[in-house]
Amino acid sequence: MKTIALLGSLFTLLTVSLYAQSNCQIGNDADYTRQIHEFTTESFFSTELVDHLPSSSCVPSPEKFLHHIVGAPNVLDHVADINAYMRLLEKSTPRVKVFSIGKSEEGREMLAVFVSDEGNIRDLDRYRQITAKLADPRGLNDQDAQKLISDGKPIYWADGSIHSPETGAPEMLMELAYRIAVEDTPFIQKIRKDSIVMITPVVEVDGRDREVDIYMHHVHHPDEPRYPLVWWGHYVSHDNNRDDLGLTLALSRNMLKAFLNWHPTVMHDLHESVPYLYIMTGTGPYNAWLDPIVISEWQSMAYHEIEEMTKRGVIGVWTHGFYDGWAPNYLLSIANGHNAIGRFYETFGNGGADTQVRKLQPADTNREWYRPNPPLPEVKWSARDNINMQESAILFGMNNVAENKETFLNNFYLKSKRAVAKARTEGPAAWVFPADDPRPGEQARFLNLLALQGVEISRLDSDAQVYPAVQKEHPSDADSQSSSRSDDKQKPSTRDKDVGRDKDASHDSNKPTTVPKGSYIIRMDQPYSRLADMVLDTQYYNPRDPRSYDDTGWTLGALRNVKTIRVMDTALLDKPMQKVQTVELAGQINGSGSTYLINHNTDNTLATFRYKLADVPMEAAEAPFEADGVKFDAGTFIIRNADRGKVEAAAKELGITVHATGSAPRVATHPLEAPRLAIVHNWTNTQNDGWFRVALDELKIPYTYIADTKLRQTDHLRDKFDVILLPPAGGFGGASLSSAVNGIPNRGTPMPWKNNDEMPNLVAPGLDETDDMHGGLGYAGLGNLEQFVRDGGLLIAVQSSAALPIAAGMTQMVTVANPPGMNAPGSVLLSTIDDSKSPITYGYSDKLYIYFHDGPVFNVGMPQPNAEGATRASGRGSPTDPDVIQARAYQEPEKPTKRSPHDQELYIPEETRQFAALLLPSPAEMPRVVLRFAPEKDLVLSGMLVGARDVAEKPAVIDVPHGKGHVVLFSNNPMWRDETMGSFFLVFNAIFNYDHLDAGRTLPSESAKGQVKTGAEE
């Protein structure tokens, strides 16, 4: 698109007509209209709202700028052109105003385009202030509110293409903006007069440009295999709308900021997947923290649009199924979490602008109660059909909101008001972040995240007694030593198992509890109380409910290993406290001397600190110790004879407290490294590695991003890296050995992933490129990885990727079980530290909540006979009442030996030792279970887990020696969607101690082996 030249010529043309909308000649754009008809495959995929386009003597249609109509076959537009067209509209008519709402990771601009009548656009700021007042009704009486409601205008925000292969909406939104600005039917006039339309044409701007490159390459080279969209956004793919809890991606932050600035009444995401138009309501269970008003708003809006479309003979418009409405994910949760209405469409996309015959399966075409007019088994589908469906339906939606503007604004006001009342109606009164949390760094980061969400934070002026105190507390009760203590003199000693645990008053609701001075209070009498309660509370998901669409549990306090206390006592609200905008930690050095000690509390800023001073030698304490009367945990960072200024500057910047001492600590230590780290990706799916990259980038931890194909081509990996991390593999074939070895199968001509004239947007700094995407890891790459570990490297394999080193024979005595009955669609589970001397557990107390999603479930040790009694022979009795052998004296069967899971895993029967000595690993090569899932009764904190028995007490994190190196396997995902900060340090500990993972190890006893030998000689 020759944007610049065209803009120039139009500019001259337009200066004349600027702000003279009333003098514009409005007619019918006959040629555009003719093409709409040409590209629409069936009349039942259109309505009278979109089967034509008006012309304007002042405002250029999309075709004038783009040289194709919206929905034309075989063409899509880049972000720069879409944004330029929106700005051209702004210059051409006083009915359009464009704001930038921020930039993406790769520097592309996101827009908010406002379209309304001239007066509304002129007074945009006044309307913005009205919605802001309705959003925070504290101090507003009902009478004043009603005046605001009658003066105000609802804002309807439509946003396109957060999912890059869903390509129609950005095109449609250009035509929609033009149509609403220009068309003079009473229907459109109503939208213009009584509402304000807000449009973000492209949400995932980086992914859009890559997708358009790839699609246009396909158009120009139809006989070549189509490129996969290896990266959508800079970090993650489809998960870019699963970032509402973590707010890590630029697009989430930009959209949230725009929301909090404008308080749109409706936020409407435009997706493309299922036929032909799914209008979101969902199957339920619905998110339990939302005001019930919004639930009925979803329904009434959906049914209005379904009815209007169906009345016009449009086929295949439906609601209910497809999605549940439970997890506070998806972009639309920004609105739902802030008392507005968040909703979405799924139209039928073709992953581009091809016209194709599409065949459907019965699941999509069956008539259901929620789909009385289902899609057809086979239909020719075009990009224009997609545009027609989206644009018609959303126009009905916008018209509905304009027609009922006072109802919608009043509901918004009511929801905000009831959110403020929450503290004293349904409760809780508040959530407390106690001042004595052993992880002040993560506490501060978490509070600042809530502040970013618009949640108000207060800080308690003095100790407060609350009664009855605590309903529920996280992390686990066993780790709650400090919830009711007002002093923290006994810090640091998070590992001390006897400190105040279980005995303190917080567990007895008949006694008051002290919330210490300086604690942070999230009051539930504020407008966004529901959002805060939603993220801090625990979730129960009944397995009998419909299949969950996403995570079923997300309790962020637990996942971030930050203490939070749910307080029901409204007396807390009357205690003196001060609002704080952000929480800043003052880093410092206490004491004097040339040895610096930093207690390991698993605050992730410690990882930043290690790499910030990468050239400064540091050591890790291998056990707890005392210095100058202060207790320090195992893993404490010890820095000897460093430049005090340098240490102090880093500590201050990162909010870390350092203790300087003149005496050398008496504790065994080993070097705490700042090693060379590689993160591996493949060429089919980078979704999961993105969450690792974004976490590391935020914490400024350097790494090399390397392709599986590169591992295949690189001998001596150990010369280049110390630690190689395999994030959970995705894509076709998942993480099987076969899919890892083959990757994109090696056939056809080389397929480079590099920027070129045709595809200039594929690679950005921080992403990867190659001359050929074919070939995967290959046998050579697998061999190189194995050699890397044998040479002393550390391979970390997470979740599905753990299958690779296990299947490849790098981890003896570890197998993967696939429990057939297990269903774990994303839950928060409790784990216990199984080996507190392993460096991987440094800084942790004895329990940790972790994120678990569908396994894998690991078994360690010899295969175990079924413990359920299935091994007894057929005979008399029952599974527990033993058999009796006839015609000989009864002998009671031998009782099976009871062993703890830990002991059982290391147990090798004597006979096995004897017969399989050649095959068994030496004790030093045996797996070391570091973290273990809790017993069944304690296992689930939040979300659903069917088959808990299959997971309970199984290993969660395993360290397996191999050659001179180690393989560390994760069953949980320690870096998930920037929500699991509490488990990040399991990874960092493994990295920093990669060369000393055997520290503190007790080898399994070899005595049994000797006995077997003796026996054999007899």
Q: How far is the CB of 269 from Zn ion (least distance, A)?
A: 8
**Number of C-alpha atoms within 13 angstroms, CB side, residue 508?**
8
The Cα 919–Cα 541 span in angstroms is 45
Q: Which residue's CB is nearer to Zn ion, number 170 or number 1000?
A: 170
Look at residues 448, 444, 832, 342 and name the one whose alpha carbon lies nearest to residue 656: 444
Q: How far is the CB of 840 from Zn ion (least distance, A)?
A: 37
Structure tokens at 395: 């126009």
Using DSSP, state whether 584 is helix, strand or coil: coil
Structure tokens at 623: 């056990």
Q: Which residue's CB is nearer to Zn ion, number 690 or number 778?
A: 690
**Number of C-alpha atoms within 13 angstroms, CB side, residue 902?**
18
Q: Which residue's CB is nearer to Zn ion, number 92 or number 104?
A: 104
Q: How far is the CB of 167 from Zn ion (least distance, A)?
A: 11
Number of alpha helices (DSSP H) and beta strands (DSSP E) in the chain: 33, 40
Q: How far is the CB of 239 from Zn ion (least distance, A)?
A: 11
The Cα 750–Cα 224 span in angstroms is 11
The Cα 380–Cα 357 span in angstroms is 4
The binding site for Zn ion (CB under 5 A) comprises 163, 166, 271
Q: Which residue's CB is nearer to Zn ion, number 168 or number 655?
A: 168
Q: Which residue's CB is nearer to Zn ion, number 231 or number 433?
A: 231
Q: How far is the CB of 817 from Zn ion (least distance, A)?
A: 33
610-627 exposure pattern, b = at least 16 Cβ within 10 A, e = fewer: bbbbeebebbbbbbbbeb
Q: How far is the CB of 227 from Zn ion (least distance, A)?
A: 20
Q: Which residue's CB is nearer to Zn ion, number 166 or number 959?
A: 166
Q: Which residue's CB is nearer to Zn ion, number 163 or number 371?
A: 163
Do the strands 317-318 and 955-962 form a parallel or antiparallel pair, or are they unpaired?
Answer: unpaired
Using DSSP, state whether 936 is helix, strand or coil: helix
Q: Which residue's CB is nearer to Zn ion, number 271 or number 693?
A: 271
Q: Which residue's CB is nearer to Zn ion, number 271 or number 304?
A: 271
Q: Which residue's CB is nearer to Zn ion, number 136 or number 166?
A: 166
The Cα 634–Cα 821 span in angstroms is 39
3-state secondary structure 403-417: HCHHHHHHHHHHHHH
The Cα 616–Cα 283 span in angstroms is 56
Task: Specify which residues 344 forms β-bridges with.
Answer: 269
Single-letter residue type at 654 = L
Q: How far is the CB of 403 from Zn ion (least distance, A)?
A: 29
Q: Which residue's CB is nearer to Zn ion, number 163 or number 418?
A: 163
DSSP character string of 604-636: THHHHHHHHTTTS-EEEESS-EEETTEEE-TT-
Q: Which residue's CB is nearer to Zn ion, number 274 or number 317?
A: 274
Q: Which residue's CB is nearer to Zn ion, number 168 or number 781?
A: 168
Q: How far is the CB of 764 from Zn ion (least distance, A)?
A: 22
Look at residues 178, 143, 175 and name the one whose alpha carbon lies nearest to residue 36: 175
CB count within 10 Å of CB 828 equals 29
Q: How far is the CB of 783 from Zn ion (least distance, A)?
A: 39
Q: The dihedral of CA 735, 739, 742, 747: what is its sign?
A: negative
- Torsion region of 626: left, alpha or beta (phi above 0 gives left; psi -120 to 50 gives alpha): beta
Residue 317: φ, ψ to 5°: -105, 125
Task: Specify which residues 851 forms β-bridges with.
Answer: 828
Q: How far is the CB of 298 from Zn ion (least distance, A)?
A: 18
Angle made by CA atoms 387, 393, 394, in degrees to the nearest 5: 90
Look at residues 469, 493, 466, 472 and name the one whose alpha carbon lies nearest to residue 481: 493
The Cα 763–Cα 117 span in angstroms is 41
Cβ-proximal residues to 725 (8 Å cutoff; 6+ apart), any chain: 677, 678, 679, 680, 692, 703, 796, 798, 987
Q: Which residue's CB is nearer to Zn ion, number 271 or number 445?
A: 271
CB count within 10 Å of CB 496 equals 17
The Cα 968–Cα 958 span in angstroms is 6
